[in-house]
């Protein structure tokens, strides 16, 4: 076997005498035939027909998300091809080749991890090994996992062998990132795409695994897991069977396998419960800000990520919207019948346009909160905005009254109280900004006053040169949360263009925005009225006027050269030998160049 290659176990079956119960779930319950595959019916049908009609290709490329069965399928296909006594498309499991495969000693099946064997020398060793005939089986099969990790040189060295291998050689490449595979390799392989496994299929497999585990456990150690918990694990796995089995084993280990409920899974895996998300959305249409703010506080104080919470809110709103517009199948939303009934009941309280408005509000919040200096305050602002948005209440008064049976009629919303909450939050944010050295007055984005005036209509005092308290750090503090929002109101195209740039430098009233990674948007920013709109929004947000300069790739290179020349000039002026020469000949340094 060539250097740098390692041969690994080819099958979930343990070696003789090995205690199989010690194996982790995703290896112990790896499928070993087409009959016990979970999902991937299109892949199974393809290979069954391939074997049935003997249409074997010399090279395959398996592409799909992690944990969807690519490596397992490659091993099963290799086992079937070298099975000497197969009568159908399944391996016999009894012949010499099958037994050696199960023991992990099949010398004609070589598995190579391309992530750690990615250099050209590894491919040269593989190319040399191709010349040797198979020892026991009909084919010599090479499985290259993570094929996208091969270097460009290694991929080029592999091309000729991949295109015209000996008739007894078959290559199976597997990758999670199909787009990184060179086109020259793609054109030489037969592409087989693996899709994410459906939640319902994962749940069935998890139930099967629990049944198999309970069959060999004592009565007092049997695993008790309700279906809601399995649905949560399946959703968390995001279509990957390996992740689902690993999560199940983790939950069983922590919970002892006794009475695993949906609530316990949420606590163990740090997931946000559907009930919590439902209460959060209900607080919007019931106009009960205390409930929603308390939920945000609880999520924040328990250490959970607000980003994860927002993703769950958006997912729930998407499901409500789909139900509202006519989706009538629980399988389309990857949920069970009870959850679907709850979604249908909750969706009946909203109009479709109101759900879409809420979804837009929280989707925008999800994209902006990553750049907010205080994520909790940002989410609270957005939450109050969603309560005050038109049409966020229930679809009809009867539904709202039915949702709260203890109250005959929902009391009118106390706008004074909510306005006080908003003012308190604005005051806190303004105080934070003022303490950091920024302006203490509310920005013009919130007052709506025209540029150059204060909220009360009076002319804004102009700072004298040198009096600016702005720094790049202070500008960044409310750039995403305030400036971009104000700019979006002034000019949506300018907002879209400037969002692709990065704040680079601020000095003497000039703000530089770096577009070296997106020269097209930088050139667009320099054209038309985009700079004018951006400077206007800046003045209204920060109460200071600046000139915005766009840094393009060529400008950045020129600036670096100029800076280097200045540094070299200073070095030469401080050089004792140069100083002596300048004094001796009464000279001066005109220019410096780097050799």
What's the confidence (pLDDT) of residue 475? 86
Tell me whether residue 56 is in a domain.
yes
Which range has the worst mean pLDDT, 17-21, 153-157, 313-317? Answer: 17-21
Q: How many helices (DSSP H) and strands (DSSP E) are in the chain?
A: 27, 8
Tell me whether residue 5 is in a domain.
no
Q: Please report which confidence band the pLDDT of residue 182 belongs to, taking 50, 70 and 90 as the band edges.
A: very high
Which CATH number belongs to the domain containing residue 228 in this structure? Answer: 1.10.8.60
Tell me whether residue 281 is in a domain.
yes
pLDDT digits (tens, 9 = 90+) for 505-517: 888 888 989 888 7
509 within 8 A of 472, measured Cβ to Cβ: no
What's the confidence (pLDDT) of residue 525? 86
Same domain, 25 and 169: yes
- Residue 454: pLDDT over 80: no
DSSP 449: P
Contacts of 435 (CB under 8 A, 6+ apart): none
Cα Rg for the chain, rounded, in angstroms? 32
Same domain, 141 and 226: no
Same domain, 280 and 358: yes
pLDDT digits (tens, 9 = 90+) for 200-259: 899 999 999 999 988 888 887 888 888 888 988 998 898 899 999 999 999 988 877 678
Same domain, 474 and 489: yes
Q: Is 161 helix (H, G, I), strand (E, B) or coil?
A: helix
Same domain, 369 and 411: yes
Same domain, 414 and 345: yes
Same domain, 111 and 163: yes
Pull the structure tokens for residue 462: 């102009």
Pull the structure tokens for residue 378: 């940002």
Alpha-carbon 486 to chain mean position: 28
**CA atoms of 441 and 378, how far apart (whole Å):** 19
End-to-end CA, the chain: 51
pLDDT digits (tens, 9 = 90+) for 366-401: 888 888 888 888 898 889 888 887 555 544 444 444
**CA atoms of 366 and 378, how far apart (whole Å):** 10
Please say which residue of 377, 407, 426 terminates a domain: 426
Give the up-direction half-sphere exposure of residue 465: CA atoms within 13 A in the CB hemisphere.
Answer: 2
350 within 8 A of 285, measured Cβ to Cβ: yes
Tell me whether residue 223 is in a domain.
yes
pLDDT digits (tens, 9 = 90+) for 25-48: 988 898 888 888 888 889 999 999
Tell me whether residue 456 is in a domain.
no
Q: Is 505 helix (H, G, I), strand (E, B) or coil?
A: strand
Among residues 407, 452, 28, the alpha carbon closest in space to that of 213 is found at 28
**SS in 3 state form for 59-104?**
EEEEECCCCCCHHHHHHHHHHHHCCCCCCCCCCCCCCHHHHHHHHC
DSSP 371: G
Instruction: Report residue 311: phi and psi, to 5°.
Output: -60, -40
Tell me whether residue 143 is in a domain.
yes
**CA atoms of 563 and 259, how far apart (whole Å):** 68
58 within 8 A of 189, measured Cβ to Cβ: no
Same domain, 539 and 572: no
Please say which residue of 269, 286, 309 terminates a domain: 269
DSSP 481: I
Q: What percentage of residues in the chain have a pLDDT greater than 70?
A: 81
60-65-67-68 Cα dihedral, nearest 10 degrees: -60
Instruction: Report residue 252: phi and psi, to 5°.
Output: -65, -40
Which CATH number belongs to the domain containing residue 498 in this structure? Answer: 3.30.300.180
Same domain, 237 and 314: no
DSSP 521-548: HHHHHTSTTHHHHHHHHHHHHHSS--EE
- Residue 524: pLDDT over 60: yes
Same domain, 341 and 367: yes
204: domain range? 199-269
Q: Is 290 helix (H, G, I), strand (E, B) or coil?
A: helix
Same domain, 229 and 181: no
**CA atoms of 441 and 447, how far apart (whole Å):** 10
Tell me whether residue 81 is in a domain.
yes
Mean pLDDT score of the chain: 80
Contacts of 499 (CB under 8 A, 6+ apart): 484
Tell me whether residue 449 is in a domain.
no
**In sequence order, what E strands does 231-297 have?**
none
Same domain, 142 and 163: yes
What's the confidence (pLDDT) of residue 407? 38
Whether the pTM exceeds 0.75: the reply is no
Instruction: Report residue 289: phi and psi, to 5°.
Output: -65, -30
Domain count for the chain, please give it.
5
Please say which residue of 230, 245, 269 terminates a domain: 269
Which CATH number belongs to the domain containing residue 75 in this structure? Answer: 3.40.50.300
pLDDT digits (tens, 9 = 90+) for 94-114: 899 999 998 888 999 999 999
Contacts of 559 (CB under 8 A, 6+ apart): 551
Q: Is 375 helix (H, G, I), strand (E, B) or coil?
A: helix
**CA atoms of 501 and 513, how far apart (whole Å):** 6
């Amino acid at each position: 076997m060539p250097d740098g290659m390692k041969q690994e176990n080819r099958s979930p079956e343990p070696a003789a005498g090995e205690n199989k119960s010690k194996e982790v779930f995703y290896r112990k319950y790896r499928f070993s035939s087409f009959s016990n595959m979970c999902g991937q019916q299109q892949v199974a049908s393809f290979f069954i027909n391939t074997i049935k009609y003997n249409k074997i290709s010399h090279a395959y490329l398996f592409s799909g998300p992690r944990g969807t069965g690519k490596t397992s399928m490659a091993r099963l296909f290799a086992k079937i091809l070298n099975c000497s006594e197969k009568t159908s498309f399944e391996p016999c499991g009894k012949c010499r080749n099958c037994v050696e495969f199960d023991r992990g000693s099949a010398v004609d099946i070589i598995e190579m991890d391309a992530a750690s064997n990615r250099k050209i020398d590894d491919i040269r060793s593989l190319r040399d090994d191709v010349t040797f005939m198979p020892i026991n089986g009909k084919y010599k099969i090479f499985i290259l996992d993570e094929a996208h990790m091969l270097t460009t040189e290694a991929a080029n060295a592999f091309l000729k062998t991949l295109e015209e291998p000996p008739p007894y050689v078959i290559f199976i490449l597997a990758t999670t990132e199909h787009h990184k595979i060179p086109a020259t390799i793609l054109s030489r392989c037969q592409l087989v795409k693996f899709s994410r496994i459906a939640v319902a299929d994962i749940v069935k497999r998890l139930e099967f695994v629990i049944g198999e585990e309970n069959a060999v456990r004592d009565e007092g150690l049997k695993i008790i897991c309700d279906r809601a918990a399995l649905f949560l694990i399946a959703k968390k796995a995001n279509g990957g069977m390996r992740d689902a089995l690993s999560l199940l084993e983790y939950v069983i280990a922590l919970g002892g396998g006794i009475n695993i409920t949906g609530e316990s899974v949420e606590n163990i895996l740090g997931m946000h419960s559907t009930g919590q998300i439902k209460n959060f959305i209900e607080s919007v249409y019931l106009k009960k800000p205390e409930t929603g703010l308390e939920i945000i506080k609880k999520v924040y104080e328990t250490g959970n990520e607000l980003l994860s919470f927002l993703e769950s809110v958006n997912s729930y709103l998407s499901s409500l919207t789909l139900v509202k517009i006519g989706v009538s199948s629980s399988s389309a939303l990857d949920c069970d019948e009870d959850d679907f009934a709850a979604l249908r009941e909750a969706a009946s309280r909203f109009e479709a346009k109101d759900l879409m408005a809420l979804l837009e509000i929280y989707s925008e919040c999800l994209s902006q909160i990553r750049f907010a200096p205080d994520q909790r305050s940002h989410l609270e602002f957005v939450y109050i905005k969603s309560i005050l948005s038109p049409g966020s209440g229930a679809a009809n008064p009867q539904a709202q009254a039915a949702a709260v049976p203890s109250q005959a009629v929902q009391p009118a919303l106390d706008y004074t109280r909510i306005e006080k909450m908003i003012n308190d939050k604005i005051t806190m944010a303004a105080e934070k900004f003022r303490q950091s050295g920024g302006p203490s007055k509310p920005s013009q984005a919130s007052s709506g006053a025209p540029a150059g005036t204060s909220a009360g209509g009076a002319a804004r005092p102009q700072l004298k040169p040198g009096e600016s308290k702005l720094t790049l750090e202070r500008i960044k503090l409310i750039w995403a949360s305030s400036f971009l929002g104000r700019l979006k109101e002034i000019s949506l195209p300018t907002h879209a263009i400037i969002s692709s740039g990065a704040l680079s430098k601020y000095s003497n009233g000039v703000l530089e925005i770096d577009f070296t990674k997106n020269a097209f948007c930088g050139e667009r920013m320099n054209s038309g009225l985009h700079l004018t709109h951006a400077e206007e929004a800046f003045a209204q947000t920060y109460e200071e006027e600046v000139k915005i300069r766009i840094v393009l790739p060529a400008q950045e290179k020129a600036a670096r050269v100029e800076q280097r020349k200045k540094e070299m000039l200073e070095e030469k002026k401080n050089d004792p030998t140069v100083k002596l020469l300048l004094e001796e000949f009464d000279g001066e340094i005109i220019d410096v160049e780097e050799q």
